[in-house]
Structure 1
Amino acid sequence: MEKKKMSKKKKWTISILSILGLFILGTGGYAFYLYNQVENTVESIHQPIEREKSEKRVEVVEFKEQDPISVLLMGVDEREGDSGRSDTMIVLTVNPTDKSTKMVSIPRDTRTEIVGKGFEDKINHAYAFGGPEMAMNTVENFLDIPIDYFIQVNMESFKGIVDAVGGVNVSNTFAFEYGGYTFNEGSLTLDGDEALAFSRMRYEDPRGDFGRQERQRQIIKAVIDKGASFSSLTKFDDIMAIIGENLKTNMTFDEMIDIQKNYKDARFNLEQTQIKGSGTKIDGIYYYIVSDDERTALSAKLKEHLQMSENVSKR
C-alpha cells in the first residue's frame, strides 16, 4: 500500500495508521497480549534521529493539546550494496481538531536543494545521501513546513501487508492490464500481488506518474482502513511480523499510543493532493520542476492545516 515494483518497496504507508489503529482493539487478556506484542514490535522498528524537534517548530508538539503533526512516509528501494533511494515520498499532515488529514505525494524526480549537501538534485536522492534525517530536512526545506516524524517502509513487504489485512478495496477509473493481471473499471478487491501490480503501472496511464500516485494513495488509504478494523485482528501476528522486519520510524511506543488516543479520528477525512510541475532535462538528466508559485501555494495550504500561525502566536 506499484510502480517500480512498488518501486520495490516503495509503497509505503502502509503501516502507519494501521499500527496505530491496532492499539484500541481487543479486550481483557487478549488486549494485554496485543499491547505487549505491539510494544515489542515498535521497539524493534524505532530508529531515533539526532534532533529533538524540527527547526521550524517553536516548541515540541504536545499530543494532549492536539497540536497538528506531520509525517514523511518513504517507500525505500534498497538494493544490495546500496543505501537505497526513497522512490515514494508522501507527506501527511494530521489535524485532530478538524479531524482531517492531508496527503501530498512528492514526485521522486523533483529537483530541489539537498539540505546538508548544498546542491540541487532529485529529492529522492536525499535519503541515499543522508538517510531519513536528510530526507526529512530536504522535504522541510522544499515545502517550508516542519516534518515531525518519518515512517520508512521496505516495499518488499507490501504484498504481505495487503494479504495480512485480508486484501483491499479500490476504485479503478479505467481498465488496463499490467503484470499479468487485468484490472477492470470500477470497484475492485485486490490481494497483495494484484495491489502491487495495480500500484506499479505508469506508462499506460494518460496521467503518467500522477495517475500512479493516485493509485498508490488509494492503496495506502485502503490498508489504513483495513488495518484499523476489527477484522485485522485475525492476522495480527502476521501484520506485526511484517512490520517488525520492514518498517523504521522515529516514533516511540508512547508517542504512538498518544497519537492513537488523540488523533485517530483524523483518518476519516483524507484529502489527497498532487504537486503540479513539468518535466525537463538538465545536462541529460530528467527532472520534475515545481515553480516557486506552486510551492508557495502548497506550503501555505499545509501551514494552515498545521495551524502554524496559531501555534507560533500562542507559544
Structure 2
Amino acid sequence: MKRSDRKKPRRLWFKIPLVIILLLVLGGGAYAISIYNNAKSTVNEKMSEPVEAIDTTVTKKKMKDEEPLNVLLLGVDARGADKGRSDALMVLSLDPKQEKMQLVSIPRDTRTTIVGKGFEDKINHAYAYGGSEMSIATVENFLDIELDYFVRMNMEGLEELVDQLGTIEVNNEIAWNDGTYNFTKGPVEMDGAKTMAFVRMRKQDNAGDFGRTERQRKVIEGIVDKGASVASVNKISGVIDVLGNNMATNMDFDDMKDLLFNYTNVRKNVVSYMMEGSGTKIDGTYYYIVPDEEITKVHGMINEIKS
C-alpha cells in the first residue's frame, strides 16, 4: 500500500472520542450541560488509563504550544476473559503548524523485539503480554520514536455501539456471503451482529488483513455519520456509556478538547502509509518481516512531522 494524500480524509475509529463525545455533546441543545458533564466524568473516570511509558506533563506542554504529537492507536479484539491482542496498530502524527496528519499502519504480524520480554514475537502480542504499557514501549523501540498519547478501543464494543445507534450504512467494495449474511457490493445497512461479521471477514478478501483494516475504518465512518444525526438524549448517553466500557486512553477530557479545537486543521492534509515487508514462516509460525531500510524510512517520516 503506497503513501497517498487524500483531499477528503476518512474518519477513523480513533476519532470516536473526539467526534461523538465532544461534537455531539457540545452541540446537544438544551440538554448539553448534563450530557457534557456525563461525558467529562466518563472520560476522566472510566476511560482514563495512565501509563508510565508516557510523561503526560511533557505532552501537555507540547499541546499547549501546539507542537506535533504522536498518538498510538490500538484496536483490540478482546472477548470475555481473554485479554486479546492489538489487531490494529497505527501511529498517528499530528502537525498543526503544517496542517498535516500522518497515519502509519503497522501490520499486526510484524516480527520485532517485545520490550519487557526480551525476545522477538509478533508486535500485536505485546498487548497480550503487557497491555497498553508494553505495546507503547515495543512500538517506540521498533520505530525509535517517542509517543505522546495512546487510544485503545475494544473492537467487540463495536457491536454494542452500532446497536445503540440502531443501524449504520457502509459502502461495501466486494460482495460475499458468509452463510449467515449476504454482503452485496455498494451501500449495505447493518446492525451490530452484521457489523462484526463485516469487519472480521478475511478469507474471502484477497487483501487479507489489510482489507479487514479497511473495513474496520468504513464501519467507524458509518458509526460517526450515524452518531452525528442522533437527537435522543438516551441514545447520546448510551453511546457515551458504551465508549466508557470499551475505550481507554491516557488523555483526560481537557486533552480531548484541546485536540479537537487546536489541532482540527491537521485534517486538511492527510497522509496514510502501510509499512511494507514480506511474510515468512519461522518454526512453523507466520511472521511479517519488515526490513531495516523500511523501518528507517518510517522513522524518518515520523520525525519529519516531529521536527
Q: Give the alignment's TM-score, normalised by structure 2.
A: 0.83
- SS of match in other structure, 2:237: helix
8 Å contact 2:126–2:134 — kept in the other structure?
yes
Q: Supply the AA of the counterpart residue of 2:63.
A: F
Matches of 1:125 and 1:61 in 2, distance apart? 32
Describe how 1:128-143 pairs up with structure 2 within 5 A.
128-143=128-143
- SS of match in other structure, 2:288: strand
Matches of 2:16 and 2:135 in 1, distance apart? 19
8 Å contact 2:53–2:136 — kept in the other structure?
no
Aligned residue for 1:3? none
Describe how 1:125-164 pairs up with structure 2 within 5 A.
125-164=125-164
Matches of 2:190 and 2:66 in 1, distance apart? 35
Aligned residue for 1:49? 51
Describe how 1:274-285 pairs up with structure 2 within 5 A.
274-285=274-285
Aligned residue for 1:232? 230
Q: Supply the AA of the counterpart residue of 1:33.
A: S
Over the matched positions of the two proteins, sequence identity in percent amounts to 48
Aligned residue for 2:170? 170
Distance 1:169 1:264, change over 3 A: farther
Aligned residue for 2:16? 15
Q: Supply the AA of the counterpart residue of 1:202.
A: R
8 Å contact 1:23–1:257 — kept in the other structure?
no
Superposed displacement of residue 99, structure 1: 3.8
Structure 2 unaligned regions, length at least 5: 1-11
Describe how 1:208-287 pairs up with structure 2 within 5 A.
208-227=208-227, 229=228, 231-234=229-232, 235-267=235-267, 269-287=269-287
Superposed displacement of residue 222, structure 1: 3.6
Aligned residue for 1:32? 33
Superposed displacement of residue 166, structure 1: 4.9
Matches of 1:290 and 1:182 in 2, distance apart? 36
Distance 1:193 1:99, change over 3 A: farther
Aligned residues: 292
Deviations along 1:216-259, one digit per CA (max 9) or x if unpaired, are 222234434544x3x23432111011112122111112211211
RMSD: 2.7
- SS of match in other structure, 1:102: strand
Structure 1 unaligned regions, length at least 5: 1-10, 310-315
8 Å contact 2:69–2:94 — kept in the other structure?
yes
Q: Supply the AA of the counterpart residue of 1:262.
A: N
8 Å contact 2:79–2:156 — kept in the other structure?
no
Q: Supply the AA of the counterpart residue of 1:219.
A: V
Superposed displacement of residue 32, structure 1: 1.2
- SS of match in other structure, 2:37: helix
Matches of 2:37 and 2:288 in 1, distance apart? 45
Superposed displacement of residue 122, structure 1: 0.7
Deviations along 1:30-73, one digit per CA (max 9) or x if unpaired, are 2211210101111222111124538xx98755323322222222
Superposed displacement of residue 135, structure 1: 0.3
Matches of 1:266 and 1:179 in 2, distance apart? 42
Q: Supply the AA of the counterpart residue of 1:272.
A: S
- SS of match in other structure, 1:62: helix
Matches of 1:179 and 1:103 in 2, distance apart? 35
- SS of match in other structure, 2:244: helix
- SS of match in other structure, 1:72: strand
